[in-house]
Amino acid sequence: MSFLSGKRALIVGLATDRSIAWGIAQAMHAHGAELAFSYIERMADRVVPLAKQLGSQITFPMDVASDEEITRGFATLKSHWSEFDILVHAVAFATRDALSGRFIDATSREGFRIAHDISSYSLTALSREALPFMKGRAGAIVTLSYLGAVRSVPSYNVMGLAKASLEANVRFLAADLGREGVRVNGISAGPIKTLSAAGIPGLRKMLAHVAAAAPIARNVTIEDVGKAAAFLCSDLASGITGEILYVDGGYSTVGMSFPGEADAGA
Ligand code: NAD
């Protein structure tokens, strides 16, 4: 079913074929969307060939930490598309030292600023630029969050605070843009081994713990997240906005579990 046919999506945050953005791009392409991609300069060699695989010739650099790059990026996009429907925000960053050790020691003023700027403020900045392109269309914006927004998670540290800000950002943008026909949602994904996630100490333990405790008894994949994002950005989700949809195999819904003992009786 091509429930995204006729839709155009800008994907921000593709780095490699392990990126969540790649899972989303593949699902959107499979359901008929036309795609454009932005990337940070050093990822150009990886992103441009991936974009081509999905029939996209529209790729351009855009570092979301820079207002000038955002303005230039959207100007480049405008030379290809005067309108588009979907913005995928799959971007996050914290310095390595912010993601290791005790939260109280690892969280500096500058580390806090960088994490919030790149991982949360950028959603507001990109949505502002995207809005004129979505005029008169059923626009949809989706971003990627994590459980660390609402619960403490070892080593996730300041990224948890930035994700809490991102989730509030989703609600404020949804309230602001709804009258213009634009919906804004987030997906809270379970842990997946990507380039960024590899920077979180203990990722392997985290993956094993979640796979053992989650109702679906495995970790989620970029394909799982991609399908949910395609749905949320399609007209099938026309009544959904301001939501955070958990795509975590049900992990966040479990109060207690005894992995491996499910069938063992009392
Ligand atoms: P990834 O490394 O593949 O993607 C992160 C992207 O952010 C990269 O493309 C990187 O280039 C981009 N980025 C970083 N700084 C940037 C900047 N200044 N300007 C523009 N782009 C910048 O990793 P991923 O895991 O696919 O991450 C995508 C999103 O998913 C992130 O928001 C991440 O927090 C979120 N997420 C990841 C997991 C996980 O376990 N992998 C779980 C939940 C949520």
| Local confidence band at 262 (pLDDT 50, 70, 90 cut-offs) | low
**92-148 pLDDT per residue, tens:** 999 999 999 999 999 999 999 999 999 999 999 999 999 999 999 999 999 999 999
Mean pLDDT of 16-31: 98
pLDDT band at 247 (very low <50, low <70, confident <90, very high): very high
Return the percentage of the chain with pLDDT > 90, whole number: 94
Q: What distance in Å separates the CA atoms of residue 52 and residue 217, rounded to the nearest whole number?
A: 35
Tokens for 101, please give them: 């050790």
CB under 6 Å to ligand 1: residues? 13-16, 19-21, 40, 43, 63-65, 90-93, 118, 144-146, 189, 191-192, 194-197
pLDDT, tens digit, 9 for 90 and up, residues 40-96: 999 999 999 999 999 999 999 999 999 999 999 999 999 999 999 999 999 999 999
Q: How confident is the model at residue 200 (pLDDT cuts 50, 70, 90)?
A: confident
Residue of 11, 20, 157, 187 best suited for mutating to test ligand 1, as the one with most atoms within 8 Å of CB: 20
Query: Which are the catalytic amino acids?
Result: 146, 156
Atom index in ligand 1 nearest the CA of residue 16 equals 3
Kindly give the number of the ligand 1 atom that is closest to the alpha carbon of 200: 40
Question: Which pLDDT band, with edges at 50, 70 and 90, does 179 fall under?
Answer: very high
Look at the pTM and tell me if it is higher than 0.85.
yes
Q: Which atom of ligand 1 is nearest to the CA of 166?
A: 32
Mean model confidence pLDDT for the chain = 96
